[in-house]
Amino acid sequence: MLETIWFILWGVLWAVYFLLDGFDLGIGSMLPFFGKNQDDRGEMIRAMGPHWDGNEVWLITAGGVTFAAFPGTYAVMFSALYSPLLIILFGLIFRGVAMEFRHQIHSPGWRGMWDAFLFLGSVIPAVLFGVAFANIFQGIAIDGAGVYRGTLLSLLNPYGLLGGALFLLLFLHHGALWLAAKARGDLQARAGRTAAALWIPLTLAAVAFLVYTWFATKLYDNYLGAPVLWLIPAVAVAALFAARIFTAGKAWWTAWFASGLTIVACTLFGVAGLFPNLLPSSLDPAFSMTAFNSASSPLTLKIMLGVALTMVPIVIVYQAWCYLFFKDHLHDGKNAGY
């Protein structure tokens, strides 16, 4: 029972991370193409400026839960996926540095250099998160000793790359809607048009991924065994179409929340299909790391559950306060340094 609870919590934390940091990664990925000049780029960065580091707390939390609740999975994951995870880490580091350094010197060359780092530190993690999770869905080539029997290029398979494209499109769409909700004037109008334009390739990628998942993975086995789980992809589809409807009506915040629900439901679609696997093996199902064979002791899980039930609500309340406090910062002069 405790293992199941922690598996659910593990999936929810990843979903919350993608919901919150997704718009940051999306805006950063649009930066060199969407920002016509330094004023536009500065406004784009200010739109995510007060939140990006707080959003990454959820990545640390998701990684911490993996380490504390499922140490066996954590060890194998950081062995099998070492290269992409390290690239993601460096990308996020460079993104954070770029956010803080770009405004230190008022020089086009200086800002252009850090804008390039911010772009790379956004688009690379966005794609590689999708590649990593798609490979987890279809199974990693790990043997009975937990040793990865593949290479980095093995992860760049068609299904993995489709997962990377889907994640990037989800985050770009999410980021464009956030920018439409926060900006004003021409930048808001262009962000709204961009979100509307991105919806079509996003929908096509989502449909392709769902179809490919049927052939490349065993995720649907859980859905066929427990039909109630079909509510998760149904919510994802409904939220995706709702985002388009609200975008057309220029209800930017409602559209952004619908986009966020799409991301959460897409993440939980994969998590629900995986259970009880955390890292399925493509070599032999017996080699898979599950919520039961890689979990910490029952006492550890029980103590951590008490800590999580106490601390996570506090973090949620604090972060909600931060979002409310900075809701108008783009237009009232706060955080102007970006």
Q: Is the pLDDT of residue 145 over 90?
A: no
pLDDT at residue 41, rounded to an integer: 86
Q: Is the pLDDT of residue 49 over 80?
A: no
Q: How many CA atoms lie less than 13 Å away from 173 in the CB half-sphere?
A: 33
> What three-state secondary structure class fits 183?
coil
Q: What are the DSSP calls for 308-336, one per residue?
A: HHHHHHHHHHHHHHHHHHTTTHHHHSTTT
pLDDT at residue 228, rounded to an integer: 96
- Residues 228-236, mean pLDDT to the nearest whole number: 96
Range of the domain at 268: 2-332
> What's the mean pLDDT when you consider all of the chain?
91
The radius of gyration computed from the CA coordinates of the chain, to the nearest angstrom, equals 20
On whether residue 53 sits in a domain, the answer given is yes
d(CA 338, CA 19): 23
Task: Find out whether 58 and 95 touch, Cβ atoms under 8 Å.
Answer: no
- Residues 207-219, mean pLDDT to the nearest whole number: 96
What confidence tier does 331 reach under pLDDT thresholds 50, 70, 90? low
Task: Provide the strand spans (E) within the chain.
Answer: 277-279, 289-290
pLDDT in tens, 3-36: 999 999 999 999 999 999 999 999 999 998 888 7
Q: Is the pLDDT of residue 44 over 80?
A: yes
pLDDT at residue 162, rounded to an integer: 97
On whether residue 337 sits in a domain, the answer given is no
- Residues 6+ away with beta carbon under 8 Å from 67: 74
Q: Is the pLDDT of residue 54 over 90?
A: no
Encoding tokens for residue 11? Answer: 């999936």
Secondary structure of 17-71 in HEC code, one letter for each residue: HHHHHHHHHHHHHHHHHHCCCHHHHHHHHHHHCCCHHHHCHHHHHHHHHHHHHCH
Q: What Cα–Cα distance (Å) separates residue 209 from each residue in 26, 54, 250?
A: 20, 30, 28
What confidence tier does 338 reach under pLDDT thresholds 50, 70, 90? low
pLDDT in tens, 101-141: 888 888 888 888 999 999 999 999 999 999 999 999 999 99
Highest-scoring range by mean pLDDT, 107-111, 180-184, 324-328: 180-184
What confidence tier does 337 reach under pLDDT thresholds 50, 70, 90? low
On whether residue 338 sits in a domain, the answer given is no
On whether residue 22 sits in a domain, the answer given is yes
d(CA 271, CA 283): 20
Q: Domains in the chain: how many in total? A: 1
Q: Is the pLDDT of residue 177 over 90?
A: yes
On whether residue 178 sits in a domain, the answer given is yes
Q: Is the pLDDT of residue 218 over 80?
A: yes
